Amino acid sequence: MKNRYLWCLVSVMVCVVVISGCRSSKEQEEAGSFVQSYCSVLQNVYLKADMKILGQMATENELKRVFPTIQALTATDNIMKSEILEFKLKKTTLEDGKATVRTSERWRFWWEDRKTGTITKPKVEESYKLNYHLVKDKSGWLVDSIEMLN
């Protein structure tokens, strides 16, 4: 009887540990949602060729990554249109006010002349495995860098 009680107790404890380990924390879910929102905002940034749209979503480090594309779009009087064909959150890890959100994404993008709408760079479809490195400040999450894994 004692062994049976002990076995039941251990089984319950294992279930609790497994279930609690599988659930995402609220902060992990917020970081994942933030990355999804960031991708949508980034589409608009390239569409309007306007970095100000990123507002308080990116650090200076990330803004430096986006800037050359915006500069090229502006210099050629183009816009970049894009479609997110697939977006999957794979894994989110948290540590001391930082997060890494791993995604699998498939995008289609192309450039168009701002005035005529003529396609100046043909439609291309790309698949990415990315790590979004986030930092948290008083207002929430910020993208600090994006690491390409493939």
Domains of the chain plus CATH, in order, are: 26-148 (3.10.450.240)
Give the number of other CB atoms < 10 A from CB of residue 73. Answer: 20
Q: How far apart are CA 57 and CA 54, in angstroms?
A: 6
Helix axes 60-76, 26-48, angle to 10 degrees: 20
Averaged pLDDT for residues 115-137: 97
The pTM of this model reads: 0.81
Cα 141 from Cα 110, distance rounded (Å):
29
- The pLDDT mean for the chain works out to 88
> What is the model's pLDDT at position 82?
97
Q: Using one digit for the tens of pLDDT, what is the confidence trace for 35-71?
A: 999 999 999 999 999 999 998 899 999 999 999 999 9
Structure tokens at 132: 């979004």
Residue type, 43: Q
Is residue 82 helix, strand or coil? strand
